[in-house]
Amino acid sequence: MMQQTMADYTQTFRQLAELDVSQLSDVTSLESKWSLVKVSKASQWEKWVQKYCERLEQENVKEEVRHARMLKVNPLYIPNNWILQEAIADAEKNDFGKVRLLLKVFMNPYEVNEEAEKLGYSSQPPSWSYGIKLSCSS
């Protein structure tokens, strides 16, 4: 479903960790979760939610445990090409502020960083960024 809807893999799991399972069928609860909104448009979404809830029930996983486990292994920030490209472009102009910020953010990518949030690092990538490719020589 993530591939079908072009949802972000990492953000989908992170956002799944941030909601209670009871909210997964609630359009209002999903509104602030951009990647889950994309996935929820798949024709099989409701069926998947039902199966997911059944599995959690079978495994007797409490919500607070599920949240804690998932938040521990699903980062909020990942080094997307567009984020790196912005830092590279600034560094080429001798402005290393974003490079320093990224070093700080990626030392603990699971914790909310207000400056990274202001820059949209956990938001849907900007439309101009689709198709950016970076290599080791960038």
pLDDT digits (tens, 9 = 90+) for 104-113: 999 999 999 9
Output the pLDDT for position 68.
96
**Cβ neighbours for 97, distance < 8 A, ≥ 6 positions apart:** 90
Tell me the residue type at 119. L
Listed residue (108, 101, 99) closest to 76, CA to CA: 108
**Distance in angstroms (rounded) separating the CA atoms of residues 87 and 135:** 14
What average pLDDT is seen over the chain?
A: 92
**Distance in angstroms (rounded) separating the CA atoms of residues 40 and 74:** 19
Output the pLDDT for position 125.
85
DSSP annotation of 13: H
Tokens standing for 124?
Answer: 């849907």
pLDDT at residue 114 tops 80: yes
